[in-house]
Amino acid sequence: MIIASANPQDTSEISLEELRLQPNTKITGLSYDFYRNQLAFSLQPKSNLNQKINPNTLDLDLGGQPIKVLVEGYELLDLKLPNRPDNQIPLEFIVSPNIQKINLEITQKISVDITVGKIPKYESEQWFRGKIKTKNVQFIDVDRTGKDVRDDLKVSTIVEGKIRMAEQERDIKQNQFLIGKSANTPLNIQEIRNLQIVPKKGIEARFSGETKEIQIGIYPDFPVSRIQGSWLDGVLPRDAIIALFSFEAATVANLLSWLFSNASKSASKP
């Protein structure tokens, strides 16, 4: 579904006020395009048929202008058209909303694209809440040819960064991989302490975790630098954070409590 201003020449009044995600929601493709001021990501809620799970929710302020709505993949239960499945017919309409604020429940996998009007300047206005507990965080994308999965190549989305462990520090350069003890062992990132948009650069992440060895390399199986702690200092101390800038398609799986807030001040447009 696409919601936009009915008149493209007008400044949109639509704003995202809050996106609240439930535990174990999988986030993929998190990116920020600073040329178009567009934030994008995909959500995949956890499904459990044997247990009722609260849905993810999206709060929108539609403003007072007419809006254009484009819906695809819908189904009309009471109307069946011969030889033309309902879910293949795009539905577009213009409406003047009589309810300004709406709350949407997200129960299926969706992709979200938000055009950002203004980047928050102060920490109190940040859109991402800090101290996000995570599992299986990877700063990678997959380059696919579409012909054979064996041709897939992993691509690092790191632009620059710095990592510290056991009183040692290393710089991470553009397109280098952050690797655990081996190429098949991802770094055990347990908490994202801060996540924010940096103008003309991308997304900055500061996080901490636990590991016995960190490797950096231009290929996942070809490390060029490493930090290895002893059994006494195999845990990253509380004041040791990893800061990575501008990942274009990071994967944050099983995200445990993520909250967008204060976005209404930015006059964002979905």
- Tell me the per-residue pLDDT of 12-50, one tens digit each, with 9 for 90 and over: 788 888 888 888 888 888 888 878 888 888 888 876 655
For residue 240, the model assigns a pLDDT of: 46
Write the burial class of residue 92 (CB in 10 Å: 0-12 exposed, 13-18 middle, 19+ buried): exposed
Domain limits, the chain: 1-26+46-128+260-270, 140-246
For residue 21, the model assigns a pLDDT of: 87
For residue 238, the model assigns a pLDDT of: 42
For residue 35, the model assigns a pLDDT of: 81
For residue 206, the model assigns a pLDDT of: 86
Q: What percentage of the chain reaches a pLDDT higher than 70? A: 73
For residue 78, the model assigns a pLDDT of: 62
Does an H or E element contain 243, and which? strand 242-245
Across the chain, mean pLDDT equals 76
136: alpha, beta or left? (left if phi > 0; alpha if psi -120 to 50):
left
Confidence check: pLDDT of 106 > 70: yes
Handedness of CA 158, 159, 165, 168 (dihedral sign): positive
Label residue 190 by pLDDT band (50, 70, 90). Answer: confident
Closest CA to 193 of 115, 111, 137, 266: 137
For residue 262, the model assigns a pLDDT of: 42
Cα(195)–Cα(128) distance, integer angstroms:
6
Calculate mean pLDDT across residues 204-220: 84
pLDDT digits (tens, 9 = 90+) for 119-178: 766 665 677 877 888 888 888 888 887 777 778 888 888 888 888 877 788 888 888 888
Is residue 21 a contact partner of residue 257, using CB atoms and an 8 Å limit? Answer: yes
For residue 187, the model assigns a pLDDT of: 76
Closest CA to 134 of 40, 53, 213, 23: 23
Label residue 247 by pLDDT band (50, 70, 90). Answer: low
